A = this chain, B = another copy of it.
Amino acid sequence: MRFFSDNAAPAHPRVLEAIAAANRLDTAYDGDQWSAKLDGAFSDLFETEVKALWVTTGTAANSLALAALCPPYGAILCHRDAHIENDEAGAPAFFSGGSKLVLLGGDGAKIAPEAIAEACDRVRPDVHQVQPAAISITNATEYGLAYRAAEVAAIGNLAKQRGLALHMDGARLANALATTCESLADTTWRAGVDALSFGFVKNGGLNAECLILFRTELADEIAIRRKRAGHLLSKGRYLAAQVLAMLEGGLWLDNARAANAAAKVIASAAPARLVYPVEANEIFLRVSTDEATRLRGAGFDFYDWAPGEIRLVTSWDQEGEALDRLAAAIADL
């Protein structure tokens, strides 16, 4: 029974159906009827005019956004646990032509405005040191915590004061919002976010993510960068159709709620072991090596996050039975 990664889960049937329905002659690249609907669909969803570009990975979405928001000679402030620092093989530096990540601390991989201000203040304003140009936050964080809209807004305000752009890696934004019950608009552009990597693949998508630009004037440059990075698929309609299917009827939020609910079942089994409150579809538990071995022996698969800590991830399609068995197994440790 796999609790290793939400990337392991299959795509939602409605996503597959949308792909099948898009399987007919249409214009290549992003000239098709599905791609043409993205800007409108996301503008409705976000209650403001946005530009939306499909890509196939969160790494591409993050790096394309950051390359437009940070010059090659600038720095991006992020948490030291951030995906862009630890799990993207240096992609932000590659896409931007050499920009630097400046690493911040913060509980639960959440960044506080104070940490940003301190990091900025440490940089001498001269040509010898790389000057901060952007902030990237992850919501839900790498520890599964959700930023409240007000928390994002505090960062957004600071960003504005300091002349920094603000990017949000929303690989699990749906899960965060399913917990906070705040609006997409409030949690992003109204809080000062300039660009958002909106994740769908971990949430029931097949291979389409979406880069949402609240500063719509960035779209032309990013469209060029997307092509130049080999990310303009020649049959883009299959990506656009997936994304539209995820939006249709709020499937993206339903899926996230289902995954979060599954996470809650596990979390409830061992409240004392929780490293952090569960606010998305990830559960981090304090578990000894011995206990981890016993869980694995019982057929559960998961990730060793840190010494004495394991990570369990639930998906939109998690079956009740496996969940109950895992919850019981944890409670029995």
Residues in A lying within 8 Å of B, measured CB to CB: 2, 4-5, 7-11, 16, 19-20, 23-29, 55-61, 63-64, 71-73, 75, 86-91, 93-95, 97-101, 127-131, 201-202, 206-207, 221, 223-235, 238-239
From residue A330, how far is it (CB to closest CB) to chain B in Å?
A: 21
Would A229 and B11 count as touching, CB distance under 8 A? no
Whether the pair B230, A231 counts as a contact (CB closer than 8 A) is yes
A2 to B239, CA, bound (A): 22
Given the complex of chains A and B, what is the CA–CA distance between A91 and B224 in angstroms? 10
A71 CA to B95 CA, complexed, in Å: 13
CB pair B233 A130 closer than 8 Å: no
Flag if B23 contacts A232 (CB, 8 Å): no
A207 contacts B239, C-beta separation under 8 Å: yes
Contact (Cβ within 8 A) A234 B89: no
Q: Which 3 interchain pairs have the tightest Cβ spacing?
A: A60-B230, A7-B28, A97-B97
Which residues of the other chain, B, contact A233 by a CB distance below 8 angstroms? Answer: 56-57, 201, 207
Which residues of B lie under 8 Å from residue A11 when comparing CB positions? 23, 235, 238
Most B CB atoms within 10 A — which of A26, A58, A95, A206? A206
Question: Given the complex of chains A and B, what is the CA–CA distance between A55 and B230 in angstroms?
Answer: 9
The residues of B that contact A71 with a CB separation of less than 8 Å are 221
A57 touches B94 (CB 8 A): no
Check if A229 sits within 8 Å of B91, measured CB to CB: yes
12 further A-B pairs in the complex, CB-CB below 8 A; given A56-B233, A73-B94: A10-B24, A11-B238, A16-B20, A57-B231, A60-B229, A75-B90, A87-B129, A90-B99, A91-B228, A95-B230, A128-B227, A206-B238
CB < 8 Å neighbour of A7 from B16, B95, B234: B234
Residue of B nearest to A32 (CB): B8
Known A87-B129, A98-B94, A231-B230: A8·B25 in contact at CB below 8 Å: yes
Complex: A57 Cα to B55 Cα, angstroms: 12
CA of A323 to CA of B225, assembled, Å: 37
Q: Do the beta carbons of A89 and B228 come within 8 Å of each other?
A: yes
Closest to A17 in B: B20
In the complex, what residues of B have CB within 8 A of residue A8's CB? 25-28
Q: Which residues of B contact A202 (CB under 8 A)?
A: 234
Minimum distance in angstroms from A258 CB to a CB of chain B = 15
The answer to whether A93 and B91 touch across the interface, beta carbons within 8 angstroms, is no
A201–B236 Cα gap in the complex (Å)?
A: 11
Whose C-beta in chain B lies nearest to the C-beta of A225?
B73
